[in-house]
A and B are shown apart, each in its own frame.
Chain A
Amino acid sequence: MGEGPQIRVAGVSHLYRPPKGRPVLALDDVSLDVREREFLALLGPSGCGKSTLLYLIGGFLPTEAGTIEVEGRQVAEPGPDRGIVFQHFALFPWKTVSANIRYGLERAKLPRRECESRAQYFIDLVGLRGFEDNYPSQLSGGMKQRAAIARTLAFDPKILLMDEPFGALDAQTRAIMQSELLAIWRKTPKTVIFVTHDVQEAVYLADRVAVMSARPGRIMTLVDTRFDKSDPNLFKQPAFIEKVDAIWHLVREEALKAQAGRLPGRLQ
């Protein structure tokens, strides 16, 4: 563990230019430091730019104003040090589960046998043993997300970027996936930046929650949310409930602002 943050976002602003219409400021002078192996949640109402910030860190969007540095180097392009998991899984529909998971390993030019054994390890880790040769169209939503997570974990990125990964799942599957994600994270600790609009999910999963304002997105506050995550009654603990409540009020105000401005996005 070196000194200084692993990820440093400094004064980043981002202009969204739709194909028709005027440009809109999505992010306004955002600064954030993320420590190594920290689990950070980006929380905010729809349209607040949290996914945009994630994509900037991932290098999928060009940083036009401000700087983003990962381990001292400026982010210019996507790369295998920052793995991404999308809400709609983004599995290659024409590849089997196992072929999907092997893809990143093959890009890294690992020998075939090692690709296969590593892929199998992660298939087992996420509980998809027996489905290696299935196509994504044959899997349920939860299974697809497991496969997507396994695919990203397989090539061992230092940083895991997750864009509302459980948003497309039903409530029960979501709850199961949340605790499984924590279990996996404990086994293979990484830096995780987790985008969500669900306050409870953020407080449960993360060490720190960055609460963002409505568009244009700013970081309003950073809240420490370290709890004993292995406590089965965590959700009933008064401290936990208090924290969720406090953050919810912050977010609610911003969500109302967002709706009042009739900004596009899902209604919360």
Chain B
Amino acid sequence: MKRGALLLFKFLPLLILAVLWEIVCRAGLVSSLVLPPLSAVIEAGIDLMTSGDLWTNGEVSLYRVAAGLLLAITLGGALGFAMAWWRPLNSLISPFVEILYPMPKSALIPVTALWLGFGDGSKILLIFLGCMLPVTLGAFNGARGTDEALLWSARSMGAGPLRVLRDVVFPSALPELMNGIRTAIALSLILLVSSELIVARQGFGYLIGTLGSDGAYDAMFAVVLIVASLGFIADRLHLAASGWVLRWRM
């Protein structure tokens, strides 16, 4: 019970802001066109859910983000480990990485749309390409930082090179890898919403855009809040997963 009270206290400012929002609107201090009251936003949100619009678009967005992230994490992670393990591969690929690292990934939005159009493909490709780098870097740096004494201990206990990669390098790299994945998750949502606002015919971003241009501002606010909270939820889920995966740390 005490923990609940503590949590409430921690998030009290948000509650205050919510109440303020409602009061300011009801008092007529702000035009309801510009800022619909929170209650209206909630109502519009529920309407969207029951009408199904939210789900159809939401499904599409979630699919795109999940697919793109999955590709980015698995292939990006594998690449990072491979580059850490085999020097020739590293020399071959690191120029690519060095070029791509400082590039604003949003620059890829038009070109992926050029290649694959308005649909899922372009978004998945965008998220895959854009989010791969933090995962690769995390895997690479984590693997590079493996304590040599651990590698030697494993070798002296009879483990072959591939086994060492699996049993020692991979777990050792996990903290940095998980960190890279956290960045990738945040980036994926940014790329998703950005591309859906600009070059899409379906999805959360598209929904926000259409609701806005239709003048349905309370519904638009509702979707904005929902998408914003998705980002927060995804990050919290990742933290929980990290906590479990890395439970052996102090």
Q: Give A104's nearest chain B residue, CB to CB.
A: B157
Contact in complex: A137, B152 (CB < 8 Å):
no
Which residues, 139 to 197 on B, are CB-close (under 8 Å) to A?
147, 149-150, 152-159, 163, 167-168, 171-172, 174
Tell me if B87 counts as interface (CB < 8 A to partner A): no
Complex Cα–Cα for A90 and B146 (A)? 11
A58 touches B249 (CB 8 A): no
The dominant DSSP class at the B interface is helix
A60 to B149 CA separation, bound complex (whole angstroms): 10
Whole-angstrom distance between the alpha carbons of A90 and B156 in the complex? 12
Bound Cα distance A80, B158 (Å): 6
* List of B residues within 8 angstroms of A83 by Cβ: 156-157
Q: Do A103 and B149 have beta carbons less than 8 Å apart?
A: no
Report A-chain residues with C-beta under 8 Å of the C-beta of B249.
93, 137
Chain B: CB-nearest residue to A108: B158
Does chain A have a CB within 8 A of B248? yes
A135-B248, A137-B249 known; A92-B157 Cβ under 8 A: no
What's the least CB distance linking B144 to chain A, in Å? 13
Shortest CB-to-CB span from A77 to chain B, Å, is 7
Of all chain A residues, the one with the shortest Cβ separation from B147 is: A90
B149→A155 contact, CB < 8 A: no
Given contacts A93-B249, A137-B250, contact A82 B156 (CB under 8 A): yes
Please name all residues of chain A whose beta carbon is closer than 8 Å to the beta carbon of B147 when the two chains form the complex: 90
Bound-complex Cα distance A70 to B156 (A): 15
Interface size class of A (residues with CB under 8 A): 20 to 34
Q: Which B residues between 83 and 98 are near A, CB-CB below 8 angstroms?
A: none
The docked-state distance in angstroms from the alpha carbon of A137 to that of B247 is 10
Most chain A CB within a 10 A radius of its CB, from B155, B158, B172: B158
Tell me the bound Cα distance from A108 to B163 in angstroms: 13
A49-87 CB mask vs B (1 if < 8 Å, else 0) is: 000000100111000000000000000011110111010
Complex Cα spacing A151 to B153, Å: 10
Closest Cβ–Cβ distance, residue B158 to chain A (whole Å): 4
Contacts of B156 in A (CB 8 A): 58-60, 78-80, 82-84, 157
Known: A93-B249, A137-B248. A84 touches B158 (CB 8 A): no
Q: Which chain A residues have a beta carbon within 8 Å of chain B's beta carbons?
A: 55, 58-60, 77-80, 82-84, 86, 88, 90, 92-95, 103-104, 107-108, 135-138, 151, 155, 157
- Contact sample, A vs B, 19 pairs, CB 8 Å cutoff: A58-B152, A77-B155, A78-B155, A78-B156, A82-B156, A84-B153, A86-B149, A90-B149, A92-B150, A92-B171, A93-B249, A94-B171, A94-B172, A103-B154, A103-B157, A107-B158, A107-B163, A137-B248, A137-B250
Residues of B within 8 A of A (CB): 147, 149-150, 152-159, 163, 167-168, 171-172, 174, 247-250
